[in-house]
Every structure is written in structure tokens, then in C-alpha cells.
Amino acid sequence: MKIAFISDIHGNATALESVLEDIKRKKADKIVVLGDICYRGPEPKRSLDMVRKLNTEVIRGNADDWVYRGIKEGEVPDQALDIMRKEQQWTTSHLTEDDLDYLGSLPSQVTIELTEKINIHGFHATPESLFEVVQPTDSNKSLEEKLMREQTASIFLYGHIHLPYVRYINGKCVANLGSVGLPFDGLNQASYLMAEGDGDQFNVGIQRVQYDVEKVKKQLKEADYPNLEFLTGVIERGSF
């Protein structure tokens, strides 16, 4: 079995298109989506429509909650609250009530069978939170306590931080997918993860995919996106 895991699309349908083409070329058997579909990108509606057409398991991220119910005080830095609320309002103005209901109804975690002997536990940030930040440099003990709680799983996957990595702890694997639409690791290419398994053996790898960055920058400008300079810079640099 070969399963592609994607997350943190953030309204970047151009990047998502390139990723889905790469997944098709690599002949994955299945695609699973770990949240943050629409918010903070030029094409929230098209991104969501593409995800829904996959007809697969999708869980919600913190940004999906923001789109559905707004951004609360304390969830982002005080100095960013006003502009991020404007971004949220801009995003929701491009979606339908059905779209919002869909985002609000998504589950917070998923367990996927890679083989008869290997389960994958997927969530957005941690199994308990859509917002907690768990970094690639955190200790093994911290990763085990925060991310690797499901005893029946051998692989633990999450999104949220936009920083792809793969680590192995006590014979199990924990990995971050990176971001399809808004990478933060300095490489302005879409990121996703491919997991392959056969019996009790598995392989997990980060995949990077080039997409038309200039097109997305132009889309943001033409759409009169409310946080244009900031988001254009992140898209261009591949870095927060």
C-alpha cells in the first residue's frame, strides 16, 4: 500500500494541483488530508472543491476552525489579530454556507491502515489540540508524550508547523508533512509525505514539488488580498 498525506494547503490551489499530479505520477493508492485547506491563500473555494472531490478522509486544522467560527483573542499574537480577521473574512466571502458547514463538521484525527500490521495515526497539530506547536527539534520524550500516544499505531503524522521532517523513536516513526501551499523551511516548493508499507515493513518520505510561484503571487495581487505584502513574501521565500 502506498498512501500520500497532504496538509496545509492554505488556499493555494496551484500548488495543490502540482502535488496531486505528482501523487498520480507516483501511483499512490490513496490520499489523506490533515487539515488547513482554505485560509490564507488566493483560491480558497477551488482548493476546498479539489479536496472534496478526492472523496477521501479529511480532518480539520486550526485554520479550518478559523474559517468556520472566526479567530478568537489569544489564538494569534495581539498585533496580528486585526489583519488575520480581515483575511478570515476575505476567505469566508469566497465560500458557501455548505462549504463552511463541511469545514465545521470535519473530525480532528484519523487512523489509517497502511498494512495489516501497520497503522498510521494522523492529526493536525497534536491528538489533543489543533493549535499546539511541536517542533522538529523537540526531544524524543516530548514527541512521545505529545504526539505518539496511540498504542496501536506505528507511524504518527501531523501538519500545522509547515516544517517537514521524519524521525524514528523506539522503533516507531513520527513525521511532519510540511505544507502544500505555504512552506516555512526556506524552500518554496510544495511539501507532502508518502508512506509505503508491506507486511511489517514501512518507508516514510518527504516529497517536494515545484509549482508556479509567480502565478500565485499574481493571483494574490489581482484578488486584492488583505495581507498582500506579507503573504507574497512568504510564498516567494518559502519561509515565515
> Can you tell me the distance from the alpha carbon of 186 to that of 41, in angstroms, rounded to the nearest whole number?
18
Any domain includes 18: yes
Domain containing residue 143: CATH number: 3.60.21.10
Q: 17, 222 in Cβ contact below 8 A?
A: no
Any domain includes 201: yes
In the chain, % helix, strand, coil (3-state, to 5) comes to 35, 25, 40
For 198, list phi and psi in degrees, rounded to 5: -150, 110
Any domain includes 220: no
For 185, list phi and psi in degrees, rounded to 5: -100, 10
**What domain count does the chain have?**
1
Task: List pLDDT tens digits, range 189-233.
Answer: 999 999 999 999 999 999 999 999 999 999 999 999 999 999 999
Any domain includes 230: no
Q: What is the pLDDT of residue 135?
A: 97
Any domain includes 152: yes
* CA quadruple 20, 61, 212, 85: dihedral sign: positive
Domain span at residue 85? 2-214
C-alpha cell at 48: 476546498
> Can you tell me the distance from the alpha carbon of 95 to that of 49, in angstroms, rounded to the nearest whole number?
10
Residue 240 has pLDDT above 90, yes or no: no
Q: Could you tell me the pTM of the whole model?
A: 0.97
